[in-house]
Structure 1
Amino acid sequence: MDPTPPSEILCLRDIALADASALLARHGLALEAVADGAPIPGSYWGEPEAGIIGSTVYARGDTPVHSMLHEACHLIVLPAERRASVHTDATDSVAEEDATCYLQIVLADALPGVGGARLMADMDAWGYTYRLGSTRAWFEHDADDARHWLLERGLLPA
């Protein structure tokens, strides 16, 4: 993965940090801003990708919004007892990964200036891959299992 996000990818510096922090706080998470150029704690893929440790998401201004949301959603889908011990890698199953991808798209609609359509385009530009060829096609036609997984756990409105 290229360490520098393409300029067309929406980054944290392009949105209000307070909006992102408030969204994560609604889910019991903290967003910690990391100084430009500094290492991002808990980053699985390395900078500029977001990192996670416990209930905190770490991100810099050049962190893609989709990355910040993805890592936050990894924490949101976890039961509280597992969340506390997370450091860098939270995925335990394909079902959790799919639920994470689905939820990040849903939560993007709660971020002013982002939205699900923009997030899906950024996910495609960044290199997410799905059987149907695009994030939107997966979300609209092949993600019922992820949606049901989230509904069963009360993580989506019915």
Structure 2
Amino acid sequence: MNTPAPPSAEPEVLRVRDRVFADLADLLARYDLRLHQVADGEKIPGSFWGEPEAGVIADNVYVRGDTPLHSMLHEACHLIVLPPERRAAVHTDATDSDIEEDATCYLQILLADGIPGVGRERLMADMDAWGYSFRLGTTRDWFEGDAEDARQWLGERDLLAPRFGQRHAA
């Protein structure tokens, strides 16, 4: 799986501004993450790809209104899959591990079901539109037919059951 730099002409995808910020922040809080909204036009701290992509620093995810929702979820999931001692050391670049990257992509699709009006179908379409690339072609093809290693890895870490119902106690 290759996570691409954003395309030069940004496609129509859901953005942070298209959803209720409190819903997004609550979802991330269930994993002990804090979501921060950066003012429009300001630099996003910890953004690996640069604006408008989300940024990560330790337990913090930074977004602007124009940040693609898939980017917010992707960067948050990078932090979710890390043990606390590694998460605390993250600044901008969360991993160079292929399995952690795959697990991140898989988990972001699962977490999309916890955002009102989004869901996995829309998120996978946005990932395809943005240019995520997978061996089998589409995000859906990968998710349904080529992500066993990511599912197994997440399952071993008890991360396959998204925390939609109640906040996680630290």
Q: Which TM class, normalised by the smaller chain length?
A: over 0.9
Tell me: CA distance 1:12–1:3, structure 2 relative to 1, closer, same or farther (3 Å). Answer: farther
Over the residues paired in the alignment, what is the CA RMSD in angstroms? 1.3
For residue 10 of structure 2, the aligned residue among 2, 5, 16 is 5
> Residue 108 of structure 1 contacts residue 114 of structure 1 at CA under 8 Å; is this kept in 2?
yes
In 1, Cα distance between equivalents of 2:106 and 2:7? 24
Gaps in structure 1 of 5+ consecutive residues: none
One-letter identity of the residue aligned with 1:29 = L
The percent identity for this pair of structures is 70
Aligned pairs for 1:113-128 within 5 A: 113-128=117-132
**Residue in 2 that maps onto 1:153:** 157
Matching of residue 43 in structure 1 with residue 82 in structure 2: no
Q: Secondary structure at the match of 2:77?
A: helix
- CA shift at 1:72, angstroms? 0.1
Compare relative contact order (CA 8 Å, sep 6+) and give the higher one, 1 or 2.
Answer: 2
Partner residue, 1:141: 145
CA deviation string 1:65-114 (max 9, x = no partner): 00000000000000000000100000131000000000000000000011
Residue identity matched to 1:114: V
Q: Per the alignment, in what secondary structure is the counterpart of residue 128 of structure 2?
A: helix
Scaled by the length of structure 1, the TM-score of the pair is 0.96
Q: CA deviation at 1:3?
A: 6.0
The TM-score with structure 2 as length reference comes to: 0.90
- 1:100-143 CA distance string (max 9 Å, x none): 00000000000001100000000000000001110000000000
**May I ask how many residue pairs the two structures share in their alignment?**
157
Q: Aligned partners of 2:65, 2:131: CA distance in 1, in Å?
A: 20
Q: Displacement, 1:5? A: 3.3
Task: Check whether the contact 2:77–2:108 (CA below 8 A) recurs between aligned residues.
Answer: yes
In structure 2, list runs of 5 or more residues that go unmatched: 1-5, 162-170
Q: How do residues 49-64 of structure 1 correspond to structure 2 at under 5 angstroms? A: 49-64=53-68
